[in-house]
Amino acid sequence: MCGRYASARKRHELLEEFEIELDSEEELEPDYNVAPTKDVYAVMSRVPRVEGAERPVRQLRVVRWGLVPSWAKDPSIGSRLINARMETLTEKPAFRRAFASRRCLLPADGYYEWLPQAEKKKQPFYIHPADGGVLAMAGLYEFWKDAEENWLVTCTVITTSAEDHLGHIHDRMPMMIPQDKWPEWLDPNVSDASTLLVPASAGRLTAYPVSTDVNNVKNNGSELIAPLEGGEEDNLLF
């Protein structure tokens, strides 16, 4: 699963990177320990709610991590729906409709996974693009309305099997969408995006051990992604 990630890029950087046409102008602070139920940036393509608008435009929105289906009785279900397995997207009621027309990209600098050690201890690893670029994690988003007619927008990260070297840390990883596939993935008029869900290109990602300080969601700062002193970069490539 993907349960923690880092997202420290400034809004203006994301606006340029993802060629955003409509900006919500909501600014989030750099977050090196993004956890479920936190607010995160999401890139989506929707028709603006303005007179005369007909085509979807690429937007940068702030949403909450943990998908709440429109039919949910209360938003607490979101804490259990932070990930959506690629293999069952078209089967699960919580994800099926969103996968058909509400796909998004969740920008990240990297993400964390924990490798089991002796005596039930786990060593956190920071996994990120080898070239320092942005990760465009495949995601889904959904709208939920409470009894007072207030809207909540939430998201989930799509995961896939981790193979080769990354698989020895954890058997799952976030699904990445390559830049040339962003337009199709985000297009709500593309009803079957299954062919766009392919493994990351070989050599794209690398990983190294980091401090267990990341285990506590209250800890936040660039020191969380610093290589562990004395630890060797594993060059875990996928």
Residues recognised as catalytic: 2, 113
Q: Which of helix, strand or coil describes residue 30? A: coil
Q: Which residues contact 154 (CB under 8 A, 6 or more apart)?
A: 63, 64, 65, 66, 67, 68, 75, 78, 141, 142, 144
- DSSP code string of 153-207: EEEEEEEEE--TTGGGT-SEEEPB--GGGHHHHH-TT----GGG--PPPTT-EEE
> Pick from 82, 90, 62, 50: which is nearest to 156 by CA?
82
Distance of CA 77 to the CA centre of its chain: 18
